[in-house]
Amino acid sequence: MKRRIFKKEHEMFRKSFRRYLRDKVLPFYEEWEEAGITPREAWLEAGKNEFLCPTAKEEYGGPGADFLYSVVIMEEMYYHGVSSLFWPLHNDIVFPYIDLYANEQMKKKWIPKCVSGEAILAVAMTEPDAGSDLAALKTTAVKDGDHYIVNGSKIFISNGQLADLCVVAVRTDEGGRPHEGVSLLVIEADTKGYRKGTNLKKIGMHAQDTSELFFDDCRVPAENLLGEEGKGFKYLMHNLQQERLVLAIGGYAAARGALDITLDYVKKRKVFGKTIGELQNTRFTLAEIATKVQLAQSFFDDLIPRHMAGEDLVAEVSMAKYWTTDLQFEAADQCLQFFGGYGYMTEYPISRFFVDARVQRIYGGANEIMKELIARKLGL
């Protein structure tokens, strides 16, 4: 079905990026999964081909493209089962903080390196005792002349090992209401007192490094403050709309990817003299998944242009994030079943679709939090 939101140039870009994935990513992806991290060379190669920070302005060395180019990258990566190569986090979740809130001097210093792949981005909100509750934030930043002294720790930080620049949520004011004292600092990896923990072992998303981060009397230049002090919670809430949309788009694309590789498999695999695809249970189950995937696509083709136009879509994006990531897991689970024992083997891509899907319902705000946000918008 033709996607009306994409123009000819977007589809040309899709073909180019899909070819890049097949030539430069898929042949090496298993190695990266086993290593538990993606090599920097892959990031630099992506930067060379203008696949990093596509929305970065030309004045900072970026392509100056619209958000739909990012959507193409997300869809293709999740569709091909390489979601733990976390370029969308870099491109569309963390980069906007720098693009929107950094001062001009810092933009000129950081953005060209974000575009080239020389500087890999991460965002650090989650703490050991504060998951989705930013009001419980304990990492502190105390002003000391032209620096902040940062103390605390973060956990489950995606790109935590590779990150050269980390947007860190800190508490700059202990008084007043909890949300009012939150600020955002960009902390560079070579800053004294900034330490990365070990690369955490996960049940899925193996090629994506995840870490604990520690800050012990870490001296951060005051110019690394994003926006205004005390407005970090506001900035986080504003950018969470796009973060959750990114995860939701990934969920939809992964569901379609799982569906398509399963359709191909059941048309060939035979049991009891028939292909699996000829059995009624298979036909009905895949018909249901295909219907849900199509509904998700229609939802996004309405939602994405509205997001690009600047609409406040907290309820709609929360709906999309919880529903499509649930769909992603459902599709991967039911599709794996048709592969039988082979589906449990890591050599079959459907197994990766399954394990990578589970975390989508947790990070970016657990799906139960999404339902709470929707309920609030309903006046409940």
145 and 61 inside one domain: no
CB-CB neighbours of 282 under 10 Å: 21
Which tens digit of pLDDT belongs to each residue from 20-44? 999 999 999 999 999 999 999 999 9
Q: Is the pLDDT of residue 131 over 90?
A: no
Q: Point out the domain boundary residue: 230, 247, 276.
A: 230
137 and 148 inside one domain: yes
pLDDT of residue 179: 73
Burial 256-281 (b: 16+ CB within 10 A, else e): bbbbebbbebbeebeeeeeebbeeee
Q: Is the pLDDT of residue 133 over 90?
A: no
Q: Is residue 273 part of a domain?
A: yes
CA distance 356 to 349: 11
Stretch 203-210: mean pLDDT: 96
Which tens digit of pLDDT belongs to each residue from 303-358? 999 999 999 999 999 999 999 999 999 999 999 999 999 999 999 999 999 999 99
The angle formed by the CA atoms of residues 126, 152 and 216, to the nearest 5 degrees, is 140
Catalytic residue selected from 75, 76, 229, 243: 243
Question: Which CATH number goes with the domain that contains 137?
Answer: 2.40.110.10
Q: Is residue 349 part of a domain?
A: yes
Active site annotation includes 243: yes
For residue 260, give every residue at least 6 positions away whose Cβ sits within 8 Å of its Cβ, in sequence order, or none. 79
Q: Is the pLDDT of residue 169 over 60?
A: yes
Instruction: State the total domains in the chain.
Output: 3
Which tens digit of pLDDT belongs to each residue from 263-281? 999 999 998 889 999 999 9
pTM equals 0.94
135 and 56 inside one domain: no
Q: Is residue 135 part of a domain?
A: yes
Q: Is residue 307 part of a domain?
A: yes
Residues 123/174, Cβ–Cβ less than 8 Å: no
pLDDT of residue 136: 80
CA distance 320 to 19: 29
pLDDT of residue 132: 60
What Rg, from alpha-carbon coordinates, does the chain have?
21
Which residues constitute the domain of residue 134?
122-230
